[in-house]
Structure 1
Amino acid sequence: MPDRSTELVRRLMDRYGSTFAEEAGIRLADRPGPLYQLLVLTTLLSARISAGVAVAAARALFGAGYRTPEAMARASWQQRVDALGRGHYRRYDERTATELGDEAQLCLDRWRGDLRRLRAEADGQVRSLRSMLVEFSGIGPTGADIFTREVQGVWPEYRPYLDRKVTAGATKVGLPAKPESLTGLVPPKELPRLASALVRVALDRTPPDDLVRTARRRA
């Protein structure tokens, strides 16, 4: 890898290298609790609201004890609305509170509260995984991208998963836009962090000057 690409990736990872799950306090692992928490975070990130607010709302929900589908399903609609409000997730709070209840019940009914069963059924097929994810009421194609992008860290059969938002960020800073080229820039386990960094760049209207300068030197 060229030295300038190395420098750019290092700067990206230093500045933006936390995944959204990490920011939400999720210690992602192939276990029912963290996987369900990622599903909740994915639902929040799927709305047209800032990622920072979505992460804060996830922390508020988890802080209220809604860390499992059982706990989320037991909570009243108003309790979920109140928790979302404490995270300043107000514009979509009522709709999202309903979706979170419906999703928790679907997780319990179809997957017995354990998304590892969803993983087993998808059998390493991205299309199958995405089709099952969008059955959750608050998750559409964008949400399926978010979940798969983050979960590839613990479900390695889905690596590399670098969607259009990731490649848009890569293009913005002058890195290769092809997923197969991006894959070689970091060790496989670091792909979720690189993907999250590039998504943040794609969402940022004014990337930091140091990244812009490094990208220009690569041009």
Structure 2
Amino acid sequence: MIKAEVEAAEPRAFTASWMLWPTSSKHTMPLPRSVDHALADYVFYPESEWTRFGYRPPDNLPLLGAWRDAAGTAFAFLMTPAAGDGAPSKKPVLLYVSGAKDAVEDIGSKVTALKSVLAKSERKEIQVRHAEDRIEQEKKSPAVARLLKLVGLFTVVVNAFSLYLRQLPLPNLPSAPVQQAYQVLIIVVHFAALLLLLIITLIGVGYVIRYGILMLRRF
């Protein structure tokens, strides 16, 4: 996302440059505003002061902004190195800094912090897009809904059959063991119905929790 190039120009001057690439996040400021925010303790460096301080931006690059510290020991120039079509918010910017080494390194730490913010925003945007894609897939795929309907219908049938068996009078069976087996069968059907009801409930709760987690990842 950010590439830095540093070189010593002369004993009293030090230069550094960083190429900053825009993120795809919709929730971050444009790069020029982000740089201006990062250099909040710097003042505007108009062209009328360039001769006085002796620091100028590189030639042949469109200038987006210029700043200096209050002491006049560090000077920052924000430029657009890439030409061509496209919205300005989609183009990379070049931050060129020159001045005292300590002051330039201080700006370097600010750029590192800005890089961290941009990277975090990019990761968040990727996470949000992934969650939205998953939610869209859930909406378009009726497989889970069909499964819930099928299990639910089977549960209703089994529960109705269990209720029907419990309401039937005990038939005249030829022997006591057969009667006991019949009663055990009714108990088994009853508990199977309860188990199916529990399964359909757990599936529904799990689906709601999963959908809720996807929704939370969007924020």
Q: Same fold (TM over 0.5)?
A: no
Higher relative contact order structure (alpha carbons within 8 Å, sequence separation ≥ 6) = 1
Q: Which has the higher strand share?
A: 2
TM-score normalized by the length of structure 2: 0.22
Higher helix fraction (1 or 2):
1
**In terms of Rg, which structure is larger?**
2
Q: What TM-score, normalized by structure 1, do the two folds share?
A: 0.22
